[in-house]
Structures are given as structure tokens and as C-alpha cells.
Amino acid sequence: MKVLKFGGTSVGSAANMKKVAEIVRREQARITILSAMSGTTDSLVRISRAAASGDRNAIEEQLAMLTDKYTRCIEELLRERKQQALARMNATFGLIRDEAAAFEEYESERKIIAQGELLTSAIFTAYLQETGLKAECLYSPDFMVKDPGEKVDTERIGRALARVAGDDSTFFVAQGFICSDSQGRIDNLGRGGSDYSAALMGAAVEAAEVQIWTDIDGMHNNDPRFVDNTRPIRTMSFDEAAELAYFGAKILHPATIQPCKDHGIAVLLKNTMDPEAPGTTISNRDDDTKSFHAVAAKDGITVIRIHSARMLMAYGFLRKVFEIFEQYRTPIDMITTSEVAVSLTVDNDSHIDEIVRDLSALGSIEIERGNSIVCVVGRMEHGDAGLAARVFECVRGVPIKMISYGASHRSLAILIDTEHKKRTLQCLNDGLF
């Protein structure tokens, strides 16, 4: 059984949806998971913000744009089911207007943002049916449900999709990204969460593989938006892919890897615009070659430095620091320590004021924004000589603020000012590859 996920660009037009349908038929995908048509979620976020501020003109402006976008897609894609799809579209935009008029920050926002995936999946299912396939559209929030700790209930997914796993004649379509919270309200998995949806559903039905389809030919060894002469990586391990995804590789959501790794399910990264391209295969197979495989960068990093003489020869200090970040559900990316100071980084500073306030009881605090983490991924055994030196030789002209090396044999990360990111990525590409 195969589970396929298609991103927003892949379903961004009627022509692209036709390509997706051909791939679904060719791959005999039992479950197809869709993002919203490209640009939709951004528009829905703008509508939510306008609703919160009472800006009716901005709401109508965005809805007019979406109406034009989806009407054009439906008219180009459908024949017999065209009127049904147009009626569904009008009902969807009516619901958005109602939610915007009686806006409630949590529920209305999430209901509005969910409509992109719901409308896109309904249109695509109608097209599959018109092409002669037996197709059914599932409602992901029925079985993608978070527990009170914000984790998705995987057992519930398995129970709900048991009939899907046993049905070889139906092509099921589901929405990525959206889910329900522990109180039954519609919610989502965050930006890029459709990949995670696919991984969880694939694990639940014990799929042979999960395919992530985008508009890029697999994972590249560096960021092609900033770096010249990058190349796609054909095979990589789960651990390498997890490092790259976490540290900025945009093609894959970081949470995707673990469910597939736990169940031994290969993940294929493929290009909808070039289906015959090999893409990237991520699996348990490990390359024993001691080398550098790829580089990724994550922006928006905030550094927090804690200076305290109370650390000297003390124990329990770091526990107190970590407890503060746990209280505000803020993950730490990098950390370095000395006898009287701790430096750490976060990529989410939404609770930074509260965190700094609580940390101030432990010592003096410095905050520095505008940083990037650049991570070199490969196979770097702890006993190998010269590999780290090669990395630092490449970036000898770049001021480095922090270094993370030795936690695993998979990565070496450095913290730099974001203004140096492009130069750093290019230098590493030229020097290592």
C-alpha cells in the first residue's frame, strides 16, 4: 500500500491536479493527502487577521481573489460535477464570512484556515470520480486528533483507517495539516504539517512507502535558493533527513521522519512536475562512507545568554534553566556551557519576555536576534580526524558565535549572523562538495 502527499504547488491549478490524478492512478495510491491550493492558506490567514481587526474590505478582497482562483480551477477541471463543486465553493466562502463576522480568536481562526484543505480535497475527489475511479473523500479531523499534550492519537488513526487498509478498490483522499484538538475543535498541525499527516496515516495503515510530492526534484545537498551548483541527494538515512529537515531543509517537515522510521517505511521525495525523476529515497539503509552529505540553514534564531557565578562548581543549575523553557513549551536548538555561563538558542520567541523574566532570577541575561544556524550533515564519527577542520576551513572568514559538535556523529552546527548566511552556504558548498 502506498500513501501519497501532494503540496500546495502540486495542486495549485487544474492542470497540476490532472498531473496529480495521473500519478495517483499510476502509483495505485490507496490514500492521497492534499495541502490547500498554493497561496490559499496565506489568504486565509490574512482573512483571520482582518476579521480580528474588523477590516471587512480586506476580507472581501481576499475572498474575491480566492473565488476567482477556485472558480477557474473548477471550470477547467470538471464537467458533470462542476455545479456541485461550485456550490461547495460558495458554501465554503459563506462559512468563512460567517466566522469572520462572529470572530473568536481560537475557533474561528482555525475553522477559517482549515477551509483550504477541505475545499481542495473535495474538488480533487470529484475529479477522480469523473475520470472513472471509485474515490472517497475522508474528513481528517474525525481521526487526526490531538491529546491534551498536543500529540496526535496514533491509535485512533489506526482504528479509523482500518477499513481503508482493507479496501483495495477505493482511492481515498484526505486533508493534510488539519486535525481536531482534545476538545473536539478543529485545529491544525502547523505550517508544513501535511507531511506529518502523511507519515502518521502511512504508519497507521502500515504502508509500504510514503511519497511526498512537491515541485522540487528531491532533497538537495544545499539550499538552491541561495547556492549555485547544488545537486539532489538520491538516498539518505532517516537520521540525516531528520537533521536536515529540522535545521531548515524546506522540502520536508521535521516531524515526518519519526513515524516512518519507527515502522520501517521508506519515504520518497518526488517532483510532481517531473514524475520520472528519481527524487530522494529516505530509509533505514545507512551509508558507511565518512563524508559530508548536505548543508541546511535555519533562520529566525534568537540567542539567550545566561551569566551566573552561581554555576561555578554547582549542580542542578541547568535543570532550573530547562524547566523554565519547558514551562513555556519552547524547544532549545543549540546549547553551550562554561563554568559561569550558558548560551542557548530558540527559533520561537513568542514567550521570550516571560522566559527572560524567569531566567533573570538565575543570573544576568543577554538576548540577541537575527541569527541563523547552519548545519552540516553527514557521517562524522567521533574518532575521525580532520573532518571538523575541513568545515572550519571553509568558513574561516565567517564570524562564528556558537558551535555544536559531538552530540551525534551525524551533524556539525554553527551559529552565525543571518547576514553571513548566503556566503556561508556557498563557501561550504564549494569547499565540501
What per-residue confidence (pLDDT) applies to 10?
Answer: 96
Contact at 8 Å (CB) between 85 and 73? Answer: no
pTM to 2 decimals?
Answer: 0.86
Q: Distance between CA 17 and CA 73 in Å, rounded?
A: 9
What amino acid is encoded at 396 in this protein? Answer: R
* pLDDT, average across residues 190-202: 90
Name the pLDDT band for 212 (thresholds 50, 70, 90). very high
Please check the confidence at residue 317 and state whether its pLDDT lies above 90.
no
Please check the confidence at residue 218 and state whether its pLDDT lies above 90.
no
What amino acid is encoded at 407 in this protein? Answer: A
pLDDT digits (tens, 9 = 90+) for 326-355: 999 999 999 998 888 899 999 999 999 999
What per-residue confidence (pLDDT) applies to 249?
Answer: 67
What per-residue confidence (pLDDT) applies to 285?
Answer: 74
* pLDDT, average across residues 313-330: 89
What per-residue confidence (pLDDT) applies to 313?
Answer: 66
pLDDT digits (tens, 9 = 90+) for 229-272: 898 889 888 888 888 887 766 677 778 888 999 999 999 999 99
Least confident segment among 276-280, 306-310, 395-399: 306-310
What per-residue confidence (pLDDT) applies to 250?
Answer: 66
What per-residue confidence (pLDDT) applies to 76?
Answer: 97
What per-residue confidence (pLDDT) applies to 338?
Answer: 86
* pLDDT, average across residues 214-226: 87
Name which residue leads in pLDDT, 216 or 8.
8
Name the pLDDT band for 292 (thresholds 50, 70, 90). confident
What per-residue confidence (pLDDT) applies to 403?
Answer: 94
Name the pLDDT band for 378 (thresholds 50, 70, 90). confident
Please check the confidence at residue 187 and state whether its pLDDT lies above 70.
yes
The three-class DSSP label of residue 263 is: helix
Q: Distance between CA 125 and CA 135 in Å, rounded?
A: 6
Q: Distance between CA 180 and CA 110 in Å, rounded?
A: 10
Q: Distance between CA 110 and CA 244 in Å, rounded?
A: 29
What per-residue confidence (pLDDT) applies to 410?
Answer: 81
What per-residue confidence (pLDDT) applies to 175?
Answer: 98
Q: Distance between CA 77 and CA 89 in Å, rounded?
A: 14
Contact at 8 Å (CB) between 178 and 141? Answer: yes
405: left (phi over 0), alpha (psi -120 to 50) or beta: beta
